[in-house]
Amino acid sequence: MTHKLLFSDLVVNPSISPFIKSRLDIITSSDDYATFLSRIKNQHIELHDFTVEYLILEGDTTKKLERREKQKDIGYCIEGRPDFQHPVITYAVCYYEGKWYFGVLHKENAAWHKHRQKPHSFSNSIGTIIAKTLVTVASKGIPSSKLLDACCGVGTVMLEACISGIHIDGCDINVRAYQHALKNLAYYGYTANLYHSDIKNLEQKYDAAIIDLPYNLYSVTKEDIASHIIAATAALSDRLIIVSIADIEPVINAVGLQVVDYCTVVKRGKSFFTRKIWVCESSHTQDH
């Protein structure tokens, strides 16, 4: 990965991550422009209501007028009627490190930014970018994943899963948080299972679970609380993504989980705080 550009065989929906702006499914390429156009023509693409965009990548010094000419060149290689206002499909052309690329362009759905104005929030709630990242890490980018938000609070994480089309259930023992989460989901028209319950009372199994440990409950019994929540959630999923304000690795290990990845994130703004994120898996999952 260089210059914020990644070549990969994985097909990831750009809207699932706050850090991916677009994905180009490469159809053909060439270091010679004439050959490049010929290869596009040989694809025998026939369709209406398409458009062609020019992606400007790092190191591309092509001027604006020339970029427009390239877009026209590509358009003439396709049999059909273009639609620049409401295209059914968007193609793209780009130039990177001496080579031309052509393919289908998929852009992120930036509508998730509207969640920053959700009706109900707590001052110590994680931000939308972190929440969306947690969903990405938990689901591994797989749309069919079934997730659990074990301490859902006002539903910040749930909103990001819902807009990405990922199934997520939420649970919170705090009635105020539970009610706020219900209202936030309803405000955006999302449907999800939400439980006002101790996590230990749930029985369904999940592909992964996210735990944003409740900060306001921390006291002399903080390790007992964390241990209870983590252990109860581990009974429902072999993969946990845990957010904490303190080093809880000993607690994680004590319930039979192993930390496979870890990072620290910082939220700046009206409330400045640091959070630790732990990616954990059960030992028998790692054996496989």
The model's pLDDT over 134-157, given as tens digits with 9 standing for 90+, comes to 999 999 989 899 999 999 999 999
What the block records as the tokens of 151 is: 């301490």
CATH number at residue 179: 3.40.50.150
The verdict on 72 and 27 lying in the same domain is yes
Last residue of a domain, one of 53, 88, 107: 107
Last residue of a domain, one of 57, 77, 107: 107
How many structural domains compose the chain? 2
Would residue 218 count as lying in a domain? yes
The verdict on 162 and 234 lying in the same domain is yes
pLDDT of residue 219: 39
The verdict on 179 and 205 lying in the same domain is yes
State mean pLDDT over 23-40. Answer: 97
Last residue of a domain, one of 107, 123, 140: 107
C-alpha triplet 61, 63, 68: angle, nearest 5°: 125
Q: For 221-272, write each residue's pLDDT tens digit.
A: 466 888 999 999 999 999 999 999 888 999 999 999 999 999 998 876 666 6
The verdict on 273 and 168 lying in the same domain is yes
Is residue 214 very low, low, confident or very high in pLDDT (cuts 50, 70, 90)? confident
The verdict on 233 and 158 lying in the same domain is yes
Q: What does the alpha-carbon distance between residue 84 and residue 106 come to, in Å, rounded to a whole number?
A: 16
The verdict on 84 and 165 lying in the same domain is no
State mean pLDDT over 205-215. Answer: 92
The verdict on 147 and 79 lying in the same domain is no
Q: Domain containing 164: what range?
A: 112-287
CATH number at residue 82: 3.30.2130.30
The verdict on 248 and 175 lying in the same domain is yes
pLDDT of residue 218: 40
Is residue 220 very low, low, confident or very high in pLDDT (cuts 50, 70, 90)? very low
The verdict on 120 and 246 lying in the same domain is yes
State mean pLDDT over 79-88. Answer: 94
The verdict on 103 and 149 lying in the same domain is no
Its pTM stands at 0.82
